Chains A and B, each alone.
Chain A
Amino acid sequence: MPCERKPMRYGHSEGHTDVCFDDEGKCIVTCGSDGDVRIWESLDDDDPKSINVGEKVYSAALKNGKLVTAVSNNTVQIHTFPEGDPDGILTRFTTNANHVTFNSSGSRVAVGSSDFIVKIVEVVDSSQQKTLRGHDAPVLSVALDPSDEFLASSSCDGSVTVWSIESQTQVAQWKILQKSSDVSNAKSLCRLAWQPRSGKLLAIPVDLTIQLYDRNTWTHVSTLSDDLITQVVNVVVWSPCGKFLAAGTVGGNLLIWDVEAKLCIERQKHEKGFTVCGMAWHPSGGRIAYTDTEGCLGLLEGVSSSSPSSSSTIQSKATASKETNDYDDLFDEDDDRMLDEGMSDSRSPVKKPIMEDDDDDDDLMPATGRPRNRGSFLDDDDNSQDPGSVKLDGVPEEDGSSAILPAVVPAVSRPVYDGPKPTQPQRAFQPGSTPMHLMHRFMMWNSVGIVRGYNDDQDNAIDVEFHDTAIHHAMHLTNTLGHTMADLSQEAVLLACEGTDELASKIQCLHFSCWDTHKDWIVDLPKGEDVRALCLGQGWAAVATSALMVRLFSIGGVQKEIFSLPGAVVCLAGHGEQLLIVYHRGTGFDGDQALGVQLLQLGRRRRQVMHGEPLPLSRKSYLAWMGFTAEGTPCCIDSEGVVRILNRTLGNTWTPVCNTRESCKSKSDHYWVVGVHENPQQLRCIPCKGSRFPPTLPRPAVAVLPFNLPYCQTTTEKGQMEEEYWRSMLFHNHYGFLSSSGYEIDSEGQSQAEKEQQELLMKMFALSCKLEREFRCVELAEMMTHSVVTLAIRYASRSRRMALAQRLSELALEKANQLQEEEEEEEEEPAYQRHTSREYRGSNQMSSRQAQVENGCEEEEEDYPQEEQMDAEESTETRKPSLNPFKKGAKSPERPSPKPVSKEGRVNPFKVSGAGKSSSSPAGQPRTTNVLDSMTMSSRKPTPLGGTSKQGKAPILKPLAPKPKSKTQATLLQMSASKGSSKKLEDSQLEAEKVKPAPAATPPASMENIENRKPKTGFQLWLEENRKSILADNPDFEEMDVIKEGMGRFRTLTAEERLNWTERAKGDSDPKKRKREDEGQADEQMETDEGSAKKKKPLDTSAKLSAFAFNKE
């Protein structure tokens, strides 16, 4: 069996570390630059004993219950072990010591210091010291030979010296190292090692090799090297038996040689490639502990237990294999190694040995039973001469053949593979849980509550606590089944455990909101099928199993649909009726995961929204959290801390909205996300210092992070506003989704959001205006709703940008057109389908101003004076009182249901008397605004939509039809705008006017509604009167010329005169309307006045915006 590399764990803060075992090998002792010595019972020891010995510890050695440390205060101290009590100072230097080491009996300590001196001190009597002088630079390392005769030391002066301890003289010296000025500049720590017991050989790391020197002759006998080593060897250690030599390199490689055979029998790579600076062989030889310069501690298990046999195999086959150069095993090795690499790269949050559920790759291994050579691909560049570079494509067949030919073992020629490396797929996890191996862990932390699991000596229990105690009181359960997964919802707690040999995997549900007496149910999964992930929704539970299946249950325990997944599940998340499944879509390469997402709608209308699209993650990261926002939008967070949210309006794409790592103070800090809220925009998470997840105690506090879309140049005002606008758009998408799926929505919040967005657009517009970027202005205006475009037009004209205003008015016209068409289309559509697009809805919603704008457009097209329109606009409020009668008329039908549906809600005013007419004149009369429809839907709550057909919808809409005419009616009337929002009508009328201008007031005969005719503008009235004079002046004028000339003349009039005409135009059209309204409504003058006051409210937005627009000027 090859050795197994355990995952690294954090031991000390960054910096130089050292490691050793105690005499029996029970504990691992590490020291680091944080000044602590830690005693670890095992690698999984979560509470290592810490002894603070100084500010920095450079080196530590342990023997016979004495812990000797070289500390930064230039002393070498002794502490008792394992108590850690100070036991005096062994010796002092003028500067710090770099390396301390015991002799084999533990009676002496050798210390090499930066003041060029090596000292040998008796442990029992520190006054007995021997000082070895002769190095010309700081001493890097010292080693006492097992027979206590010699001492070897390496130094920054480039020499390795062997001293006779007795005579304190140099016996041999080799200038083989690179010179350096100081320990910190030295390429290598150059830790020397004598072969244990005999002391026959001295191992010296020299550059990329290890040189062995013979004790008797002091000659170089052999060199150990490997192609894998691309960086300097830092540390060498002998196995206790003296047969094997292990080395750690600056590049993070760990290698073990069989010294006799000079064969490299193990090649491991540090999982992150950090510099290995401390290594220690377990006294029994089975494992190697190592530390790196980042303060992490790692362990290689099963090292020499396997090595002797394997080495002999290798020896016997070595020569043969060299020639054969068989690629078969190469692939096997590649595969295994890839797996291994993957494991380290992916560092899946639940760190466990991976071998359990891996597929064929593993099955091959026991069959071949060869030592695996593992190494780094990163270093393979140097081995280009190696013939074994093969593409991955060949793997499957080759695998098969290798299974048949297991005997060929060419371990020497290391295979090389240069292509992308597959990533170890990340394990299934529960979002919002901490790793399973912890004794005290969060099994679930979500927006409902916290499920904590305790699994220590005294207790195996689960605590359920609710954030809102109104849901349920806290629960304490004994965990007899050994549940490892949990989810929590407002209705139930779902727990599950994996199966054992005897027991099947179980799902337990505590359905506390159940109204009968049986509050829980348990379901056993079929034998051999294990629960991998689970989640709760509203009224249902879902469980993904190792059989690549998703099983649905009702919350009461009824089994419902089951379906297969295309790959191993990663996690599940539920919200309301939505089920989100993330699974492995395939094999990821180079540290990336290949995940797919399915989003299912489990409500009445069951459908699959996302069909396994790839889930975007950052490079070389894995999924860390997956779930829904409180509003029901899928959201995912990867291990790089990037939060992505589903953008339903852009074809279900994922938009990054936040990078939690940016708000982390230090590199090792993380945020552990517990919830995402869209309204208010909050990312709720727990800051974790130096880890990825929080401990259960002390109780972590939730912090709130803001969202920040990674837009360009957010330091500038423009970028900032763009970011803000799109963030607002993104985070209010859920309104559309909620209303479309029949939920009640906060209409106030929605209109607030819309207002905010439009305000931002207007600000951007103003900014672009200021920067004289007129094209950009038009682009921005395209994003605006209709009513805001009019403001933009006004702004443009006020700031004397006539060309811009012109273009904008064209745009406004276009928008109005679109609106019209859409509204017509809508007639046939079921209500809920209208909300697919936000823009669409928005533009419809803003139709209140449409008439006014259309009017305005026409005027502008004809180059009418801008002021007139503005006057009209401005007078909106001031003129109100005079228009009371109409307003009242409009207002009264709405009174029974005073709830404002939308402030901009606008209807065809002709519907006043007959809402039923709407269906009879489909083309000419927009029935009602879109917003209204959406509101109707939403306020109905999730009522079954029945047929969702036209018939189904009509009765719903009718009673509500009068509503929207409420608030803006006044404006409309004031503007005396063309009430028929049908563009066609207008067009035809325009035509009509042009063709036979004299009786312009007469509506075209084809009109169905006489009211639909276009009322005349001031200009038209004026033209009528002055046409003759124009014609008299220019008898040869065509109709167009007449109008042009008319416009020219009209413009020469004074403002008052023009206003006068406008008033007259209004006066012209008003009486008819008044008649109409009077038919239906009683004249309650008083009430009207009140009403007018109220009516101001709905105008707020536009009023504000217009105020803003003017301010900007």
Chain B
Amino acid sequence: MDPAEVEFLAEKEMVKIIPNFSLDKIYLIGGDLGPFNPGLPVEVPVWLALNLKQRQKCRIVPLEWMDIDRLEEIREQERKLDAFTPIPSPYYMELTKLLLNHAADNIPKADEIRTLVKDIWDTRVAKLRLSADSFISQQEAHAQLDNLTLMEINTTRSFLLDSLNYMYKLRSNLQPGRSQDY
């Protein structure tokens, strides 16, 4: 799974937009959207929101966790605790990236939010690496990882699994008698 795919999944998250056009309900396989009334907030998936935004058909209402205070609190929490803290959205990184790249003008203090989310991300990924390291060095059989988002798992999966495989191979090679099998 590459990041683009995760991002694709994130695009089905709902976000509120304020359309500047009028349209009746639209009936899609995934469900009905709308009706769109100019000036009235309506929930749509991110993909549609971004599409409309790019066509200047709407303003995006920032997600309720896209708030400096809230994110700062999460960051502090994240730095304080050893375990992963719960994150307001399972796609926080992707959504931040998508919304801030395409609709930075609708989100107050976009730059600060970007920095904060990046901080949170870095902290979490560092934690993840650290725990992977200790997992391997202590030769544990299993580890519990709560509150990880898909993107985070994704970043470490291929590397971790591959390295575990190699290590398994190497270790099994070390065992006398088995080495001849290869």
A associates with B: yes
B39 within 8 A of A: yes
Q: A701-B61, A702-B39 are in contact. Are A468 and B20 (CB under 8 A)?
A: yes
A466 B41 Cβ-Cβ under 8 A: no
Q: In this assembly, does B21 line the interface, its C-beta being within 8 Å of a C-beta of chain A?
A: yes
> Assuming A698-B108, A701-B61, is B41 touching A468 (CB within 8 A)?
no
Contact B18 A469 (CB under 8 A): no
B20 near A467: Cβ-Cβ < 8 Å: yes
On chain A, the residues within 8 Å of B3 by CB distance are none
The reply to whether the CB of A1032 lies closer than 8 angstroms to some CB of chain B is no
Chain A, interface residues (CB within 8 Å), range: 10 to 19
Asked if A441 is an interface residue, CB under 8 A from chain B, the answer is no
Task: Check A467–B41 contact: CB distance below 8 A.
Answer: no
CB-CB < 8 A to A674: which residues of B? 39
Beta-carbon contact of A468 and B38 below 8 Å = yes
Residues of A within 8 A of B22 (CB): 468, 470
CB-CB nearest in chain A for B37: A467
Q: Which residues of A contact B16 (CB under 8 A)?
A: 701
Give the distance in Å from the alpha carbon of A468 to the alpha carbon of B18 in the complex: 10
The answer for the CA separation of A447 and B39 in the assembled complex, in Å, is: 8
How distant is the Cα of A470 from the Cα of B108 in the complex, in angstroms? 26
A117-160 toward B: CB 8 Å interface, digit per residue (1/0)? 00000000000000000000000000000000000000000000
Q: Which of B22, B40, B41 has the most CB of A within 10 A?
A: B40
Interface set, chain B 14-44, CB cutoff 8 A to A: 16, 18, 20-22, 37-41
- Is the C-beta of A841 less than 8 angstroms from some C-beta in chain B? no
**Residue pair B40, A466 in contact (C-beta under 8 Å):** no
Least CB distance from B43 to A in Å reads 12
Which of B20, B37, B41 is in CB contact (< 8 Å) with A469?
Answer: B20
Q: Which residue of B lies closest to A450 (CB)?
A: B39
Question: Which of A449, A468, A704 lies in contact with B21, CB distance below 8 A?
Answer: A468
Asked if B20 and A704 sit within 8 Å, CB to CB, the answer is: no
Q: A698-B108, A702-B39, A702-B41 are in contact. Are A469 and B61 (CB under 8 A)?
A: no
Question: What is the distance, in angstroms, from A695's C-beta to the closest C-beta of chain B?
Answer: 13
Chain A residues with CB under 8 A of B38: 466-469
Q: Which residues in A have their C-beta under 8 angstroms from that of B39?
A: 447, 449, 467-468, 674, 684, 702
In Å, the complex CA distance between A703 and B108 comes to 19
Inter-chain contacts of A704 with B (CB < 8 A): 40
Please report the C-alpha to C-alpha distance between residue A629 and residue B56 in the assembled complex, in whole angstroms.
28
Complexed CA–CA distance, A8 and B61 (Å): 34
Q: Which residues of B contact A703 (CB under 8 A)?
A: 41
Q: Are B21 and A702 in contact, CB atoms less than 8 angstroms apart?
A: no
Describe B's contact surface by its main secondary structure.
Answer: loop
Residues on A with beta carbons closer than 8 Å to the beta carbon of B108? 698
Q: How far is the CB of A700 from chain B (nearest CB, A)?
A: 11
Chain B 162-177 against A: per-residue CB contact (8 Å), 1 yes, 0 no?
Answer: 0000000000000000
Q: Which residues of B contact A469 (CB under 8 A)?
A: 20-21, 38, 56-57
Q: How far is the CA of A699 from the CA of B106 in the complex (A)?
A: 9
CB neighbours of B18 from chain A (8 A): 701-702
User: A674–B21 Cα gap in the complex (Å)?
Assistant: 18
Could you count the A-B residue pairs with CB atoms below 8 Å apart for me: how many are there?
37
Query: With a CB–CB cut-off of 8 A, which chain B residues contact A468?
Result: 20-22, 38-39
Minimum CB distance partner of A447 in chain B: B39
Q: How far, in whole Å, are A344 and B119 apart by their CA atoms in the complex?
A: 52
Once the chains bind, are A470 and B40 in contact (CB under 8 Å)? no
- By a CB distance below 8 angstroms, the chain B residues around A701 are 16, 18, 41, 61
> Who on chain B is nearest to A630 by CB?
B37
Q: When each residue 465-478 of chain A gets 1 if its CB lies under 8 Å from chain B and 0 otherwise, what string results?
A: 01111100000000
CA A674 to CA B39, docked complex, whole Å: 10
Which chain A positions have C-beta within 8 A of B59?
A: 699
Chain B residue at smallest Cβ distance from A445? B39
Task: Point out the residue from A447, A466, A699, A702 that lies within 8 Å of B20, measured CB to CB.
Answer: A466
Give CA–CA (A674, B40) in the complex, Å: 11
Write the chain B residue with the least CB distance to A703: B41
Interface residues of A in 682-713 (CB under 8 A from B): 682, 684, 698-699, 701-704
Contact string, B94-125, partner A, CB cutoff 8 A, digits 1/0? 00000000000000100000000000000000
User: In angstroms, how far is the closest chain B Cβ from the Cβ of A121?
Assistant: 38
CA distance A684 to B41 in the complex (A): 10
A-chain residues with CB within 8 Å of residue B37 when the two chains form the complex: 467
* Proximity string of chain B (45-58) to chain A, C-beta cutoff 8 Å, 1 when within and 0 when not: 00000000000110
Q: Which of A449, A699, A702 contacts B40 (CB 8 A)?
A: A702
Please indicate which of the listed interface residues A466, A467, A682 has the most CB atoms of chain B within 10 Å of its own CB. Answer: A467
Residues of A within 8 A of B56 (CB): 469
Could you tell me the distance in whole angstroms from the C-beta of B68 to the nearest C-beta in chain A? 12
How far is B59's CA from A696's CA once the two chains are assembled, in angstroms?
16
Closest CB in chain B relative to A684 CB, distance in Å: 6
Find residues 41-100 in chain B having any chain A CB closer than 8 Å to their own CB. Answer: 41, 56-57, 59, 61
Question: How far, in Å, is A13 (CB) from chain B's closest CB?
Answer: 18
CA distance A466 to B38 in the complex (A): 8
Most buried by B among A449, A469, A703: A469
Q: Does the CB pair B21–A470 fall under 8 Å?
A: yes
How close is B157's CB to chain A, nearest CB, in angstroms?
38
A703 to B40, CA, bound (A): 8
Least CB distance from A468 to B in Å reads 4
Q: Complex formed: what's the CA distance from A470 to B37 in Å?
A: 12
Q: How far is the CB of B156 from chain A (nearest CB, A)?
A: 38
Which chain A positions have C-beta within 8 A of B40? 467, 682, 684, 702, 704
Residues in A426-485 with C-beta less than 8 Å from chain B: 447, 449, 466-470
Query: Which residues 143-159 in B have Cβ within 8 Å of A in the complex?
Result: none
Q: Nearest residue in A to B57 (C-beta to C-beta)?
A: A469
In the complex, A457→B66 CA distance in Å?
Answer: 33
Residue numbers in A under 8 Å from B61 (CB-CB): 701
Give the distance in Å from the alpha carbon of A704 to the alpha carbon of B59 in the complex. Answer: 18
Residue with the highest number of chain B CB atoms closer than 10 Å, among A447, A449, A468, A699: A468
Across the two chains, which residue of chain A brings its CB closest to B35? Answer: A680
CB contacts (< 8 Å) of A699 on chain B: these are 59
Chain B residue numbers with a CB within 8 Å of A466 are 20, 38
Known pairs A449-B39, A470-B21 / 20 extra A-B pairs, C-beta < 8 Å: A466-B20, A466-B38, A467-B38, A467-B39, A468-B20, A468-B21, A468-B22, A468-B38, A468-B39, A469-B20, A469-B38, A469-B57, A470-B22, A674-B39, A698-B108, A701-B16, A701-B41, A702-B40, A703-B41, A704-B40
User: Could you list 6 examples of A-B contacts with CB < 8 Å?
Assistant: A467-B20, A467-B38, A468-B21, A468-B39, A684-B40, A704-B40
Chain B residues within CB distance 8 Å of chain A: 16, 18, 20-22, 37-41, 56-57, 59, 61, 108
Q: 7 tightest CB-CB pairs across the interface, nearest first?
A: A467-B39, A467-B38, A468-B38, A469-B20, A698-B108, A468-B22, A701-B61
Interface residues of A (CB under 8 A from B): 447, 449, 466-470, 674, 682, 684, 698-699, 701-704
